[in-house]
Chains A and B, each alone.
Chain A
Amino acid sequence: MRQADYFAFSRSSVSPNGLCTAGPWDIYFSAFDESERVQTVFDCISASDKQWLIHEEYGFSPSDAPAGSHTIAASSSPPDIQKFVQENLDRIRGRKLCVDATGFVRPHLLVLLWSLKHSGIREFDVLYSDPARYIADEKTEFTSGPVIKVEQVPGYEGIHAGFSTESDLLIIGAGYDYEQISRACESRRTSKKYILTGLPSLQPHMYQESVLRIHRAHEAIGSVSNQQWLYASANQPFAAAQVLHDLLAQEAQACGHAPRNIYLCPVGPKPHVLGFGVFYLRELEGTAASIIYPFAQQYSRLTSEGLLRTWQYHVEL
Chain B
Amino acid sequence: MHGDVDSDGGVKHVNPFAITKAVDFTDLQITTHWVDWPRPGGFAEWIGVNSPTPRIIVGGKGTGRTHLMRHFSSSVQAIRGKGDSVGQVVADGVLGIYVLCSGINASRFSGRGQDSDAWQSVFAYYMDLWLAQASLTAFSTITEQHKICESTEAAITSEIRSLIFDDVEESDLWSIHRLRREIFELQARIDKAVNNAALNPDTDFDVEILANPGQLVFGIPSAIQNHCVELQDVLFLYLIDEFENFTSAQQRYVNSLIREKVPGTSFMVGVRAYGVRTHSTLTGEENRRGSEFDEFQQDRKYVDRDQRQYRQFCQRVVARRLAEHGLVDNSDFEAFADRLNAFFEIPHRSFVEDYIVQRIPPERRPCLTRLGEDLRTHGRDASGRALTHTEICMVTDAASLPARPLLEKINTFILYRAWFNGANLIDAAHEMNDNKITPDTNDVVRPNRQQQSVLQHFSTDLQAQLSRDANLPIYYAGIGEFIAMSDGLPRNLLVILKNIWRWARFFGEDPFRIGHEIPLECQRRGVLETADWFFEDSKPIGVRGEFVQNAVARLGEFFRHLRFSRKPSESSLASFSTDLSKCSIQAREIVHLAERSALLIEVDRGQRERNSGMAEPKFHLNRLLSPRWDLPVARRGAVRLSSDEVNAIFDPDMANQFESILNVRLARMNPPFGHPRSTKSDLQGELELGR
Which A residues have a C-beta under 8 Å from some C-beta of B? 76-79, 82, 114, 145-152, 154-155, 157-166, 179, 182-183, 187-190, 215-216, 218-224, 226, 229, 261, 290, 297
Contacts and interface: CB of A to CB of B under 8 A. Distances in A.
B102 A188 contact: yes
A152 B21 contact: no
Contacts of B113: 78
Nearest to A192: B24
Contacts of B242: 189
Nearest to A191: B23
Interface of B: 1-2, 4, 18-21, 23-24, 26-27, 66, 75, 98-100, 102-103, 105, 107-108, 111-113, 130, 133-134, 137, 184, 187-188, 191-192, 194-195, 198-201, 242, 495, 533, 536-537, 539, 541-543, 545-546
A219 B543 contact: no
B19 A189 contact: no
A242 to B, nearest CB: 24
A215 B75 CA distance: 33
A220 B546 CA distance: 19
Given A146-B543, A162-B103, A223-B1, 10 more contacts: A77-B198, A152-B108, A157-B108, A157-B198, A159-B187, A160-B103, A160-B191, A182-B537, A189-B23, A229-B2
Contact of A148 (B2, B21, B200, B542): B542
Given A157-B195, A159-B192, A220 B537 contact: yes
A289 to B, nearest CB: 12
Contact of B546 (A146, A164, A187): A146
Nearest to A118: B199
A78 B108 contact: no
Tell me if B's interface is mostly helix, strand, loop or mixed. helix
Contacts of A114: 199
Given A155-B199, A163-B130, A164-B137, A297 B543 contact: yes
A187 B102 contact: yes
A222 B188 contact: no
Contacts of A163: 98-100, 103, 130, 133-134, 137
A77 B112 contact: yes
Contacts of A82: 199
16 contacts: A79-B198, A148-B542, A149-B107, A150-B541, A152-B108, A155-B199, A157-B108, A159-B195, A163-B99, A189-B242, A219-B495, A219-B537, A222-B1, A223-B19, A226-B2, A261-B103
A157 B26 CA distance: 27
Of B102, B495, B539, chain A has the most CB atoms within 10 Å of the CB of B102
4 tightest A-B contacts by CB? Answer: A157-B195, A154-B198, A159-B191, A189-B23
Contacts of B4: 223
A220 B137 CA distance: 29
A162 B132 CA distance: 11
Contact of A152 (B66, B100, B105, B536): B105
Nearest to A226: B2
Contacts of B533: 219
A182 B21 CA distance: 14
A152 B24 CA distance: 23
A223 B25 CA distance: 10
B112 A190 contact: no
Contacts of A216: 536
